Structure 1
Amino acid sequence: MIGRIQGQLIAVTPPKILVDCHGVGYEIDAPMSTIYQLPSVGEKVTVLTHLAIREDAHQLFGFITEAERMTFRELIKVSGIGARTALSVLSGLNVSEIAQAISLQDSSRLVKVPGIGKKTAERLLLELKGKLGPDLGHVAHTPAGNQHEIIQALCALGYSDKEAQLAIKDLKDIQDVSDGIRQALKILAKN
């Protein structure tokens, strides 16, 4: 299996990139999140890859980060989700947004991605629960909508998505979003 390719970036024609590795040009399908992070054409690039072998084709998919590749691999394990749909999800949402949507069981984010309908989004939420990011479904005292708003507010204040999610796990008896933000900031200040 081809796990990584390092060479000169020859061409970028979304969703494909062409990387020359010792005289061999590898055509690689990549999500837009990866394409936006690529160096200029002609420069050296390292791409983590996933090789998919089908009856009619061998396809190489490339990613800049291990988190993107791992998320892609989890997405294609879901029944009814192929490689093209997984690339579309990664192009529409970054890895932390996907993990957050799964953790909060928020299908509204997923249906915004072209090619993902309500049923597909619900299947993704069901099959990926606990596999991408921490499971936040057990936070009983904070309604899911408030969790989402609190996380967004903390991220806007400069905290990482992971820090925000860990902070809301410890929230107790939240009456409104502003109260939740205050409590979460106190928790984050202690850490």
Structure 2
Amino acid sequence: MISRLTGVLSEKAPPFVLVDVNGVGYEVQVPMSTFYNLPELGAKVTLLTQFIVREDAQLLYGFLTPTERASFRELIKISGVGPRIALALLSGLNTDELAQAVSAQDASRLVKVPGIGKKTAERLLLELKGKMAPVLATPDWSAVSDAQTDILQALVALGYSDKEAQVALKALPPDVSVSDGIKQALKALAR
């Protein structure tokens, strides 16, 4: 699973960007909220990603913040909502606006997003009720060291939730190596 890309921003053509990672170009679809905050071409960029494999394609979606990625993940869990609709929602509303619309059960805000009709908006509100508060509480991984980020990503790749991985990480010493951190975290999670 590809969870994060760090490389040089080579091309920008909404909703796609091309990130050159050591000579390999990754085509990544991003919401407009991420697109508008990207650096200039040729600058270094880090994107949190969601890799989706379909029968006919392998697609990579990128986000600048953990909250955007967590919102995207919640949206695509909903039956009938694919990555295209999730990107449209995150392009039309920022994560705070989406969470406010869900908590207020305000379908009119969602209907303003192109491609979202009244029935889809109502279904989204129903399905997301109570699920957006934890998304907004998603920790900011940018404040975490590289070793801690690697430990978190390993735990998530092993099937633990972001929340479980964060709890396990807090119990680790701050200067722990990646391999020792993974071992200690797995022991703590196995209890």
User: Counterpart in 1 of 2:132?
Assistant: 132
Distance between the aligned counterparts of 1:60 and 1:27, measured in 2? Answer: 7
- Map 1:64-75; keep pairs closer than 5 Å: 64-75=64-75
User: Counterpart in 2 of 1:39?
Assistant: 39
User: Counterpart in 2 of 1:83?
Assistant: 83
Q: Does the aligned pair in 2 maintain the 1:16–1:29 contact within 8 Å?
A: yes
Distance between the aligned counterparts of 1:125 and 1:84, measured in 2? Answer: 18
Q: Does the aligned pair in 2 maintain the 1:9–1:20 contact within 8 Å?
A: yes
Query: Is the partner of 1:133 in helix, strand or coil?
Result: helix
Q: Say whether residues 1:120 and 2:113 are aligned partners.
A: no
Distance between the aligned counterparts of 1:77 and 1:115, measured in 2? Answer: 18
User: Counterpart in 2 of 1:92?
Assistant: 92
Query: Is the partner of 1:60 in helix, strand or coil?
Result: strand
State the one-letter code of the partner of 1:126. Answer: L
What percent of counterpart residues are identical? 65
TM-score (norm 1): 0.69
Distance between the aligned counterparts of 1:43 and 1:83, measured in 2? Answer: 27
Query: Is the partner of 2:133 in helix, strand or coil?
Result: coil
State the one-letter code of the partner of 2:102. Answer: I
Distance between the aligned counterparts of 1:75 and 1:89, measured in 2? Answer: 9
Q: CA deviation at 1:114?
A: 0.4
Query: Is the partner of 1:26 in helix, strand or coil?
Result: strand
Q: Does the aligned pair in 2 maintain the 1:100–1:133 contact within 8 Å?
A: no
TM-score (norm 2): 0.69
1:47-81 superposed Cα distances (whole Å, 9 cap, x missing partner): 00000000110000000000000000000111111
State the one-letter code of the partner of 2:98. Answer: I
1:113-157 superposed Cα distances (whole Å, 9 cap, x missing partner): 0000000000000000000028xxxxxxxxxxxxxxxxxxxxxxx
User: Counterpart in 2 of 1:167?
Assistant: none
User: Counterpart in 2 of 1:182?
Assistant: none
User: Counterpart in 2 of 1:59?
Assistant: 59
- Map 1:99-118; keep pairs closer than 5 Å: 99-118=99-118
Distance between the aligned counterparts of 1:125 and 1:83, measured in 2? Answer: 17
- Comparing 4-13 with 125-134, which one deviates more in the overlay? 125-134
User: Counterpart in 2 of 1:165?
Assistant: none
Q: How many residues align?
A: 134
Distance between the aligned counterparts of 2:97 and 2:71, measured in 1? Answer: 11
RMSD: 0.8
Distance between the aligned counterparts of 1:83 and 1:60, measured in 2? Answer: 10
Q: Which consecutive unaligned segments of at least 5 residues does structure 1 have?
A: 135-191
Distance between the aligned counterparts of 1:104 and 1:28, measured in 2? Answer: 32
Q: Which consecutive unaligned segments of at least 5 residues does structure 2 have?
A: 135-191
Q: Does the aligned pair in 2 maintain the 1:85–1:115 contact within 8 Å?
A: yes
